[in-house]
């Protein structure tokens, strides 16, 4: 096997493995363990926010943490141990996690909105901008009680902040695409926000 082929195999293993890790529907699993099918209650989404509202606060935080780790750990390990294969491989791995979460093979290619998983990926690959964006999320939710609004503002803030830190150009493009994707996935939430009928955190 040539070195080029070896690198291709390593990259494929990392990306496919990241997709499968990202595809683990932790929100659905946690709900089921508590006797709740989150696909049939609340917003019918398997993400942490719906788990928080329909299963319980601590279970929602657990779902968020698990979804965060799905994005963080694969990207972190790819950055530490496989970036020599290709400097863009950790980014591909992180994106594979997000795709796995939003289009999970275990749920007929339906999943969550990808906010927590994308956040985990960005913390691994662009730590300081991601943490500052998370601060925007926390403050927004604290003041407005809308998780959806906090998520969208945090994603938009991240897309701006990455231009002020020494990160790869491709990471800046990815941050912009993530912002667009997160806002698009929240289009129904935007409609409810405009109508004044969006669900608050409590």
Buried residues in 145-172 as b, exposed as e (16+ CB within 10 A): ebbbbbbbbbbbbbbebbeeeebeeebb
Is the model's pTM score more than 0.85?
Answer: yes
- pLDDT tens-digit map of 19-78: 999 999 999 999 999 999 999 998 888 989 899 989 999 999 999 999 999 999 999 999
- pLDDT tens-digit map of 132-183: 999 999 999 999 999 889 999 999 999 999 999 988 888 899 999 989 988 9
């Amino acid at each position: 096997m040539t070195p080029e082929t070896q690198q291709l195999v390593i990259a494929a293993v990392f990306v496919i493995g990241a997709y499968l890790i990202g595809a683990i529907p932790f929100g659905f699993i946690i709900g089921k363990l508590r006797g709740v099918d989150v696909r049939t209650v609340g917003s019918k989404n398997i993400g942490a926010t719906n788990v928080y509202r329909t299963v319980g606060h601590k279970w929602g935080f657990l779902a968020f943490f698990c979804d965060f780790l799905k994005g963080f750990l694969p990207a972190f390990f790819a950055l530490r141990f496989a970036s020599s294969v290709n400097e863009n491989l950790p980014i591909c791995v992180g994106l594979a996690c997000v795709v796995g979460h939003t289009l999970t093979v275990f749920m007929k290619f339906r999943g969550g909105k990808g906010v927590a998983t994308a956040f985990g990926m960005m913390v691994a690959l662009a730590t300081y901008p991601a943490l500052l964006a998370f601060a925007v999320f926390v403050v927004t939710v604290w003041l407005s009680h809308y998780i959806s609004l906090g998520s969208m503002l945090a994603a938009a803030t991240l897309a701006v902040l990455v231009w002020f830190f020494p990160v790869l150009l491709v990471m800046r493009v990815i941050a912009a695409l993530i912002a667009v994707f997160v806002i698009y996935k929240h289009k129904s939430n935007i409609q409810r926000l405009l109508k004044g009928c969006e669900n608050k955190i409590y």
